[in-house]
């Protein structure tokens, strides 16, 4: 069962429901998620769920939006911590991607569930697209700062993002057997192989 919020506010209840939705989607997929299952997971009544979300789709959109905002906030913090050091910023992006709060197996499963459905859901396409644009701009921008031309930066940014995405798939399929430290090291070595300035 999801951990219930201590806040007792409207925002807190909505957050409880989003956390419960993440757990249910991770176990059952989008199609197998129902408001009743989410209510049970959150330890709330169906009436409270309906008070906050009129439909299952409204809850799903809120869940995806919350995941996207959390990813963006974590990315922003990681980049801020690197300051003006572009190579350090790319390493920070690696560390952000392997932060268990962002990419445990449940969160990764939910991300992939929404991405798989996005071609048929305009709201999912918009949210996922905005998140991906922010992410790719951050990578391309730092690679450009390191002296790569626009075309080369774009190709290598896609390769770097693809590597990280491949490891997210490993998180999903391997779960507790996934070695985050080894994955982070491999991604750092990849950066060292492709960048004109080697990250420390």
Token code pair at residue 186: 């491999």
pTM: 0.90
Position 9 scores a pLDDT of 78
pLDDT in tens, 6-21: 446 778 889 999 999 9
Angle CA 197–73–43, to nearest 5: 140
Position 6 scores a pLDDT of 46
To which H or E segment does residue 101 belong? helix 100-103
Q: Do residues 141 and 78 make contact, with C-beta atoms less than 8 angstroms apart?
A: no
pLDDT in tens, 53-91: 999 999 999 999 999 999 999 999 999 999 999 999 999
Rounded to whole angstroms, the Cα distance separating 190 from 104 reads 23
The answer for residues whose C-beta is within 8 angstroms of residue 138's C-beta and 6 or more apart is 75, 79, 89, 93
Residues of the chain with pLDDT below 50 are 3, 6-7
Q: What is the dihedral of CA 46, 52, 55, 60, to 10 degrees?
A: -110
Phi-psi region at 8: left, alpha or beta (left = phi > 0; alpha = psi -120 to 50): left
Of the candidates 125, 171, 53, 132, the one whose C-alpha atom is nearest the C-alpha of residue 20 is 53
In the chain, count H helices and then E strands. Answer: 10, 0
Q: Coil, helix or strand for 83?
A: coil
């Amino acid at each position: 069962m999801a951990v219930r919020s201590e806040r007792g506010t409207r925002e807190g209840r909505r957050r409880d429901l989003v956390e419960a939705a993440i757990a249910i989607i991770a176990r059952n997929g989008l199609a197998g998620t129902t408001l009743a299952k989410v209510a049970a997971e959150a330890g709330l009544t169906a009436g409270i769920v309906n008070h906050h979300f009129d439909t299952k789709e409204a809850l799903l959109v809120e869940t995806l939006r919350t995941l996207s905002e959390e990813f963006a906030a974590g990315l922003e913090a990681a980049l801020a911590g690197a300051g003006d050091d572009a190579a350090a910023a790319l390493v920070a992006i690696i560390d952000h991607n392997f932060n268990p709060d962002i990419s445990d197996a449940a969160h990764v499963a939910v991300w992939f569930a929404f991405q798989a459905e996005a071609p048929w859901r305009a709201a999912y396409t918009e949210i996922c697209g905005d998140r991906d644009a922010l992410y790719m701009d951050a990578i391309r921008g730092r690679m450009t700062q390191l002296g790569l031309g626009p075309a080369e930066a774009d190709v290598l940014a896609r390769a770097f993002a693809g590597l990280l995405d491949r490891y997210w798939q490993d998180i999903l399929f391997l779960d507790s057997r996934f070695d985050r430290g080894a994955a982070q090291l491999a991604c750092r070595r990849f950066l060292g192989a492709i960048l004109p300035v080697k990250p420390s």
